[in-house]
Amino acid sequence: MAVTLSPADLNDPDFVALVDAHTAFCDRTAPPESCHRLAVDALAAPDVTVWSAHIDGALIGMGAVKRLNDQDGEVKSMHTCAAARGQGVARHMLQQIISHARDMGLSALWLETGTHPEFKAACALYEAFGFVETGPFGSYVLDPHSTFYTLRLDEPKGDT
């Protein structure tokens, strides 16, 4: 089964349903003030690039990068539907996001993710790609429900 990535159709009802599933997943792991996922309308912002992931034509995941400034971007809305987890979907998506960020000339990627046990696999993936744990960035604040990572893009590529 090959994972294919393409620009997301934010008007596709299946994509909207996937965003809703991501929202429900995040909302059950932390209080509202600690959930930083983006709604579909926020994903449509001009500084956000969004991809969808498919296997055999079925939508099974999404991911995005938000440009923060001339040097920095933020990984947003990484989500794989439960039935497709463990098949490398997130790995493909993260490779796409990192490649796109480099193509945009960014020096660093940042991300915020949850600390709930259900985010353990995501944290392991980010660390495998060379992301290192850091403190809050941008408008984020210290929060027991959040952990923060950064990846320098202006350093030599690792084996991912």
CB neighbours of residue 3 within 10 Å:
20
Q: What is the rounded CA–CA span in Å between residue 94 and residue 125?
A: 9
Question: What structural domains does the chain harbor?
Answer: 3-152 (3.40.630.30)
pLDDT at 160 over 60: no
Predicted structure pTM score = 0.91
Q: Which of 75, 114, 110, 81 is nearest to 96 (CA)?
A: 75
pLDDT at 98 over 90: yes
pLDDT at 159 over 70: no
Q: What is the rounded CA–CA span in Å between residue 111 and residue 31?
A: 19
Which whole number is the average pLDDT over 138-146? Answer: 92
pLDDT at 29 over 90: no
What is the helix (H) or strand (E) element at residue 122, kind and residue range? helix 120-128
pLDDT tens-digit map of 59-94: 999 999 999 999 999 999 999 998 888 888 999 999
